[in-house]
Chains A and B, each alone.
Chain A
Amino acid sequence: MYRQGVAPRSRTLRLAADVVTATLGLNLWLSLVLVPGLFLGSFGHSFAHGRAFLLVAPVPLVVLGVGIVRRSPLWLLLAYPAMLLVPVALDPRTVGENAERPLVFALIAASLVGYFLGAAYLTGGRGGGELATERTRRLGASLGAKNPARWRRRRRLYTAFGVLSMVFPIALIYQINFAPDTRAYLAELYPGDRAPTMIALLDLGAVILWFAAFAIGFVGPLRAHRTGDKEIVAELERLRAQSRRPAPSVVFYVGVVCALGLMALLLTMRAQGR
Chain B
Amino acid sequence: MRRYLFEVLAILLVAGSLVFFWECVTYLAKRDYFAALILAGIGLAVLTVGKELARLALVQRE
Contacts and interface: CB of A to CB of B under 8 A. Distances in A.
A273 interface: no
Contacts, number: 48
B8 interface: no
A243 B59 CA distance: 8
Interface in A237-270: 243-246, 248-249, 251-252, 254-256, 258-259, 262-263, 265-266, 269
Contact of B45 (A244, A262, A265, A266): A262
22 contacts: A243-B58, A243-B59, A244-B59, A245-B59, A246-B59, A248-B53, A249-B52, A252-B53, A254-B45, A254-B48, A255-B45, A255-B48, A256-B49, A258-B41, A258-B42, A258-B45, A259-B42, A259-B45, A259-B49, A262-B45, A266-B35, A266-B38
Interface residues of A, number: 18
Interface in A214-254: 243-246, 248-249, 251-252, 254
Interface of B: 34-35, 38-39, 41-42, 45-46, 48-49, 52-53, 55-56, 58-60, 62
Contacts of B59: 243-246
Interface of A: 243-246, 248-249, 251-252, 254-256, 258-259, 262-263, 265-266, 269
Given A256-B49, A259-B49, A266-B35, A248 B56 contact: yes
Residues of A contacting B: mostly = helix
Contacts of B34: 269
Nearest to B27: A266
B2 to A, nearest CB: 10
B42 A251 contact: no
A244 B59 CA distance: 6
Given A244-B62, A258-B45, A266-B42, 14 more contacts: A245-B59, A246-B56, A246-B60, A249-B52, A251-B48, A252-B49, A252-B52, A256-B45, A259-B42, A259-B46, A259-B49, A262-B41, A262-B45, A269-B34
A258 B47 CA distance: 11
B49, B58, B59, most chain A CB atoms within 10 A: B49
A79 B39 CA distance: 39
B41 A243 contact: no
Contacts of A243: 55, 58-59
